[in-house]
Amino acid sequence: MFKVKKFVDLTWDLTENTPIYPGDPEPKIEVATTLENEGYNLSGVYVGTQTGTHVDAPYHFSNEGATIEQMELDFFFGEAVIIRVTDKKAKEEITMEDLKPYRDKITKGKIVLFNTNWYKKVGTEEFFDHPYVSAEVAHFLVNQGIRFICIDTINADNTGGTEFPVHDLFSEKRLMIGENMAYFDHIDFDNVVVAAFPMKIVGTDGSPVRAVAMEIE
């Protein structure tokens, strides 16, 4: 049995202003009933499957791919390694050179977090000109047995581009991508365990998640 010493929330607040990929459904949260009128408070929530902090199932990029409820829960919980790439500039690739200091830690079954700090640019035009994972890095991680990668940008691939090599590869290999996460820079400890469980939305391409990093002793 393990003990959790510290929690770090890696999730955007879910509001009508939560950052979304251009063209995705805009979130809407409204009052459905009130304590004064109906005797209880209840809200109506409309979000896209990729709203806010979320995960992508293989179906997101393949009609033959597994949908989110078909993905085993062990994808979304496990030991993590944090790749610090906070010096990356707009539209800059994350390359194999960036992975060099972490090669020994990138082992089968680990969850990989790419810490760019780009989430801090939310509300600016530059937010969508984020760094992204190169195809070479994606192939290396798959070959190392990595099943789940997460990034603190709106997209693991280049937003505004016409090709999506990371999504295509992870879809083909039946693996998972987490995007639009935040606060990776708040993880100031080793022995990191991450949980990012999706809702069980049948037949869909992904789900919002509550992503959390934990310090384990």
pLDDT tens digits, 83-140:
999 999 999 999 999 999 999 999 999 999 999 999 999 999 899 999 999 999 999 9
**pLDDT average, residue stretch 18-32:** 95
Q: Which helix (H) or strand (E) holds 171?
A: helix 165-172
Domains of the chain plus CATH, in order, are 4-17+48-216 (3.50.30.50)
Model pLDDT, residue 217? 84
% of the chain beyond a pLDDT of 70: 100
**pLDDT average, residue stretch 19-35:** 95
3-state secondary structure of 142: helix
Q: Which residues of 161-188 are buried (b: 16+ CB within 10 A; e: fewer)?
A: eeebbbbebbbeebbbbbbbbbbbbebe
Question: Which residues are CB-contacts of 35 (< 8 A; sequence separation ≥ 6)?
Answer: 41
Model pLDDT, residue 1? 67
